[in-house]
Structure 1
Amino acid sequence: MSQAVTGSTMLRRQIGRKFESLRKAAGLTMEQAADRLDRARATLHRIENGAEHVRFRQADVQQMLDLYGASAEDSELLLALTAATRENKNWWHDYVGSGLPRWFQLYIGLEAAASGIRQYEAELVPGLLQTRAYAEQVFKMPGGSINVGDTDEQQRAVQLRVERQALLTRFSAPQLSVIINEAVLRRPVGSATIMAEQLHQILKAAELPNVTVQVLTFSAGLHAGAMTGAFSILEFPRDSSGKEVEPPVAYLEAATGAIYLDKPHETAAYNTIWADMTGRALNESRSKSLIQQVAEEYSRA
């Protein structure tokens, strides 16, 4: 499967999930929505299931958004994503406008649908484990997708990051497995107080039955993740017959865009990298001990 087709398929599935969510929030059945839109129920079914050959005319998309009472933010996102299905381009790049970039909004949708998330971070605490104070320091830095001069934009980004963390304690929460480089613990982000609070937050999250944290220490030496940098692997629920509803996705983020990889050989490569790091990292117990030790060092600073 080509990269373009793979990207289009993933994009359409995300569009479908968004439209389904908006319809249900509006209190409409598929039959009611189809009737009010003067469209066939089968057409709405294909849209919500991410079918490949649905054409998204802007006027039709706007009609659905109006019927569902979509917010300005959801309308902007869906108009952009559906336009990307018509433009035959790498839709996940170059969508850095106001607020969060749309390529990251897509990741949030995939994250919310995932049954398992594996993350490797070399420099920063993973977003799902960050405290508000730590996140505020991160979003102040230049070089990212947030305008460092826009305080309101920074605060919206911080608030979203904090709200995403409810994912870990919801009903049917995903399994989160995290490997962090020892540098994440040792490099101060903000004050010693912020770092001590942040490391205690990681320890608190690691007490959840669906969260595991391992530290890849400097003494582990060269490892496969050193060649790749940070990445995430997302896996999704299976249907009643055990069939994948959505293929696993490897996600890599940069300052101006992101790449979503779901070809079998691509995700297999990242599974191999993950296995190498898992074998070299401290086990959960020893990782917690190290995090506690460094937290105490910050508390005494």
Structure 2
Amino acid sequence: MNDAEAPSPQTISPTVGRRWLAQEIKRLREAAGLKQSDVAKRLRCNHAKIAHIESMRNAVSGPDLEVMLPFLGVPSERVDWYLQLADIAKEKGWWDGNRAIPEWFSLYIGLEWGASEIHEWDLGYVPGLLQTRAYSEALITAGSRVSNAQQRQQIEARLQRQDALHRDTGTLKLHAIVDESVFHRRMGSDFILKDQIAHLIAMSEHPQVTLQIMPFHAGPHRGQLGSYSWLGFPRADDPGVLYLENQKGGLYLEESEEITDFRADFDRLAQTALPAEDSCNLLEKLVKGKAQ
């Protein structure tokens, strides 16, 4: 990785820092023709420790990095970049340890917080980054099995995620495609849905937000197989992460072939959906219709 491909660690989230560090250690080891056991021998540790570092299960310490990097062929002038990355990776984001956020979703928020772009297809509801408080409340409390206090914590956490669109370091661009059915599904009351649609109209003017609606008349498409998000990061050789979710947890895909397929599907959805301006016009018609 050259300097042009290596953003300052200060511009990324701790989760992305841990991910990049794990990726880099694996890349450097493979480029050097070494096995995990070779690195473990150099660090005088067991093989499992290196495997856990490369899988993000465990963080790597600064002292271990200082021994490992020269062994992996990293020139002395580049060592400091990796040590800075390790310092960032050890930090805690507001989502880490937050009781309102399941452990499997905490990873997603950390990636979201450090992403440079998100392409999201939603079949069932408005994207979390674009939800109003009332819409979030209606969605989170519907059929919830947790206490009212926990529900309130979940709502606050969802709203706090939206700060990612307004952060000071590193711009986040969001391209969301939402199925038209979402805007006909009652959420608590007609007013809540109307207010949510009005909020989307306002957010469509945001310079970092592209919003498209998949109209009913579009016919069948691959988006009907389920919702998903692709998160991209500010590094040329990073393919990003594909995220799928169900009631029990999230699935993170990082194989380049899988990501290529989903991104191609998203591009086709974008071509099939209404353009951004027409999508905004449709939302305005829906707001007027609900006002009558």
| TM-score in same-fold range (> 0.5) | yes
Give unpaired runs (5+ residues) of structure 1: 1-12, 21-38, 52-67, 78-97
CA separation of 1:293 and 1:232: change in aligned 2, threshold 3 A: same
Residue 276 of structure 1 deviates from its aligned partner by 1.4
Residue 186 of structure 1 deviates from its aligned partner by 1.2
Work out which of the residue numbers 41, 46, 62 in structure 2 matches 1:41. 62
| 2:228 aligned partner | 231
Q: Share of identical aligned residues, percent?
A: 32
Residue 170 of structure 1 deviates from its aligned partner by 2.1
Q: Distance in 2 between matches of 1:272 and 1:17?
A: 28
CA separation of 1:272 and 1:41: change in aligned 2, threshold 3 A: closer
Give the number of aligned pairs: 219
- Once the two structures are superposed, the pairs formed by residues 88-99 of structure 1 within 5 Å of their partners are 99=100
Q: Distance in 2 between matches of 1:73 and 1:214?
A: 29
Amino acid at match of 2:211: V
Is the aligned partner of 1:152 residue 2:149? yes
CA contact (8 A) 1:130 1:198 kept: yes
| 2:262 aligned partner | 270
Residue 70 of structure 1 deviates from its aligned partner by 7.0
Residue 116 of structure 1 deviates from its aligned partner by 0.5
Amino acid at match of 2:133: R
CA contact (8 A) 2:100 2:157 kept: no
Q: Distance in 2 between matches of 1:101 and 1:46?
A: 35
Work out which of the residue numbers 254, 277, 281 in structure 2 matches 1:289. 281
Structure 1 residues 54-99: Cα deviation after superposition (integer angstroms, max 9, x where no partner): xxxxxxxxxxxxxx9979984x58xxxxxxxxxxxxxxxxxxxx53
Residue 213 of structure 1 deviates from its aligned partner by 0.3
Q: Distance in 1 between matches of 2:135 and 2:183?
A: 12
Is the aligned partner of 1:164 residue 2:170? no
| 2:185 aligned partner | 187
Instruction: State the SS of the aligned residue for 1:185.
Output: helix
Instruction: State the SS of the aligned residue for 2:243.
Output: strand
Residue 14 of structure 1 deviates from its aligned partner by 3.0
Residue 40 of structure 1 deviates from its aligned partner by 7.2
CA contact (8 A) 1:214 1:287 kept: yes
Amino acid at match of 1:256: K
Give unpaired runs (5+ residues) of structure 2: 1-13, 22-59, 73-89
Work out which of the residue numbers 175, 181, 184 in structure 2 matches 1:177. 175
Structure 1 residues 179-233: Cα deviation after superposition (integer angstroms, max 9, x where no partner): 0000011111111111111001111111111100000001000011112x11000
Across the aligned residues of Structure 1 and Structure 2, the Cα RMSD in angstroms comes to 2.9
Structure 1 residues 30-67: Cα deviation after superposition (integer angstroms, max 9, x where no partner): xxxxxxxxx973336799xxx9xxxxxxxxxxxxxxxx
CA contact (8 A) 2:15 2:114 kept: no
Q: Which TM-score applies when normalising by structure 1?
A: 0.66
Q: Which TM-score applies when normalising by structure 2?
A: 0.68
Q: Distance in 2 between matches of 1:72 and 1:46?
A: 31
